Amino acid sequence: MAVGIAAAELRALGATILLGLVARTATAQQAAWVVGPQAKLGLQQLWATSLDVRREQVACMGGSITPDTVRVMRLRPVEDYSDSLTASAQASLSTCSPPEWIGMVHSHVRSTDDETPASRFSPGDRAVMSEWTQRWGGQGAFCIVYSAQNLHCEVYPPRHARPAAEDST
């Protein structure tokens, strides 16, 4: 019995070490996100508008994606009705095209009875991210604004399974 317990403990220790190495490697590869002053103001305006109208707002993001840094320098709101339950991404997919735009950002203000904004991409968001990269060929930068100071951003498709970046506006 002691041999069985020792073997189980050894497997658990091996799994813990492996998970630690994966997490450390992924973190070391994570791109830095830099949000310029004009883009920060645009993100704050996007969030404020979302709160006023109680529905998601979308904007194109301009800047650059390099192997180690994503720079978001400007935003342009997409003038199209959007809602967390019925959003059509066609306007943003058509409007937010390279080379002027590196991706899209949208707010997560729910129009349902749940007042808590989601801080992660939904399956529908991921489908739009995938469609953007297929349509325009290459990686894109995507963010969610979920409070006056917080956003969640990712480069998609990920570079060697990099984790998501967290930032504050």
In the chain, where the domains are located: 1-30, 31-168
Residue-wise pLDDT tens digits, 120-159: 898 989 999 999 999 999 999 999 999 888 999 999 998 7
CA distance 17 to 74: 42
pLDDT band for position 27 (cuts 50, 70, 90): very low
As to burial, measured by CB atoms within 10 angstroms (0-12 exposed, 13-18 middle, 19+ buried), residue 15 is exposed
Task: Note the CATH number of domain 31-168.
Answer: 3.40.140.10
Higher pLDDT, 73 or 24: 73
- Look up the pTM and report it: 0.73
Structure confidence at residue 118 (pLDDT): 78
Provide the token pair at 154: 């990712």
Amino acid letter, residue 74? R
CA distance 162 to 29: 6
Structure confidence at residue 77 (pLDDT): 94
Ranges of H-type helices in 29-57: 37-53
In the numeric block, the tokens 């998601």 are attached to 56
